[in-house]
Structure 1
């Protein structure tokens, strides 16, 4: 595939502000059935399949009545993915993104599903979804939550660290050499030959995609890459697969709490604070998620900020905390080291 840029496209190409939990979940569903990828994902597949096969308990993991998400998620590299399942603007939580999905205008849903339906068969219930049927939309949202709870949520701290570290590295590339430096370094399957980005795909036919002045959003993908295919997409997004700089993978084992080595270095509370800040949070959100008072959460964030691990910006009455490049890399290495050796 060849993605064609104009000067306007280069000027409008940018990095995604934050990862989308919904897009990560959608790409993981594809990787669950496709065995290509990092060997570390084999352990993840075994654990997820076992978790999905276990009966729901009716409280913690209610089973949806229909396999909405499994039927709509891609199963073939050539399958286009509905835009409402891979938002280019990521929100803080999956629930936030599902609320946005449920409020998607009917016209946008229909146009999205019409395009996907021209390239692969769709289940009959998607007609109801395109017609604005609330039961179909709620069924899809419930199925996404059910799958995410098993396949993504237990591994999110490691995934968030992986994606945050990659964004920090891309931001440094952008500052050092501009957007072309970023395009040069997207991975071995992508080659920047101005004004064209060549992408190796598994499709049997060659395809030229012209951005036409819309620019491109570059978003890291934890499970799979995905290249733009819809010619009418308002803001094309290229998801490039991020691989850890290690033989170990953050998905080899669930991340059930602060890593022992990281906790020994920072203390259990500050290690937990660092993991939560990987999602980008305000002081109030940080306090609630870690179980500390706002004053204690602010104090821990301040210590991490002075150590160069956390950046804080003020917006009105709120302080918003994110990881620095150093904080991202520290959390990423801690996530990798807690996984068992292959």
Structure 2
């Protein structure tokens, strides 16, 4: 029993580790997490906040993101590796035949509401609503955590990159997650409820660290899709937010600045960045990032300096002081 991934020589050469989280995988796995009670010490505060502010549309979309079993692959297209907007564009362009096929698999697991029939037919209005809900969930519930997520993933990637450098892929497989075991030419993923084999066939494997992935790694169900293995990063319990304090400080900053602008300020606090980097990290448009950075600069919370042909945004002492209440 288990999931076996078969590697050839070309696959080993083409296997990579993503250096940033995949936004739509984080959305899907975040939706999984909000529907469970797993790991309350690490995710409890986030889960309480998220459940309290879910919109009606986001609640509707939860039916597509079952925490146990199958979730449609069209929710996590390969294009999401290039950013949230690229991923959402790919979701919106999903062919109707693929939507229908994947929703029929989901229907074997859960009773689907009537609106999913229009989704299965490729109704552009329903697809637009789906993308809006996914984007809103990311902006509201994922983007505010990006400084922590990016820091954890950067640390994780450095450790695993060093492992590959010194010990090769054989050493890496054993350190990514306890359920992974390398027995050439197979990478064994010990998940008792799955028994199948995937031949990479020269495509390589993209390893994607994830903040919200939990228990075991996860892959797309369709073997014809670009091979991706999403695995949990090592969480630092010291960064966990106490449940009894989950709302007050962060909401105070959000009430003062607005949720999106507060998220932008927190993103800049994680490290100096250009406007395009800010947009990518916060999961917002370039125009929105530019406008929020401009307002934060005018209020003295952010310093903005030109470096060559670009500008760099850095949190100011006043901005750091404002945020300190949200983390200490």
Q: For 1:96-175, what aligned pairs fall within 5 Å after superposition?
A: 96-118=86-108, 120-175=110-165
- 1:239 positional shift: 0.8
Determine the structure 1 residue equivalent to 2:172. Answer: 182
Separation in 1, partners of 2:43, 2:266: 30
The separation in 1 between residues aligned to 2:86 and 2:180, in whole angstroms, is 32
1:230 aligns with 2:221: yes
Q: Distance in 2 between matches of 1:185 and 1:277?
A: 34
Q: How far off its partner does 1:241 sit?
A: 0.8
Distance 1:297 1:90 in 2: 30
Size of the aligned set, in residue pairs, is: 285
CA deviation after TM superposition for structure 1 residue 10, in Å: 2.3
Give me the whole-angstrom Cα distance separating, in 2, the residues matched to 1:287 and 1:251: 33
TM-score normalised per structure 1: 0.67
Alignment match, 2:4: 3
* C-alpha RMSD over aligned residues: 4.0
Aligned counterpart, 2:25: 23
SS at structure 1 position matched to 2:80: coil
Higher mean alpha-carbon deviation, 274-283 vs 27-36, is at 274-283
Q: 1:36 is paired with a residue of what secondary structure?
A: coil
Q: Which runs of 5+ in 1 are unaligned?
A: 57-62, 258-267, 303-317, 322-334
Matched, 1:274 2:245: no
Matches within 5 A, 1:1-342: 1-7=2-8, 8-16=10-18, 18-37=20-39, 39-52=41-54, 63-64=56-57, 67-76=59-68, 79-91=69-81, 93-118=83-108, 120-201=110-191, 203=192, 205-213=193-201, 214-225=203-214, 226-228=217-219, 230-249=221-240, 272=269, 274=271, 276=273, 280=277, 290-291=293-294, 296-299=304-307, 339=327
Contact residue 147 and residue 266 of structure 2 kept, 8 A: no
Distance 1:194 1:278 in 2: 45
Where in structure 2 are there 5+ consecutive unaligned residues?
Answer: 255-264, 313-322
1:101 CA drift (Å): 1.6
Shift of 1:320: 11
The structure with the greater share of residues assigned to helix is 2
Contact persistence 1:216–1:236 (CA under 8 A):
yes
Change (3 A) 1:296 1:320: closer
- Tell me the TM-score normalized by structure 2: 0.70
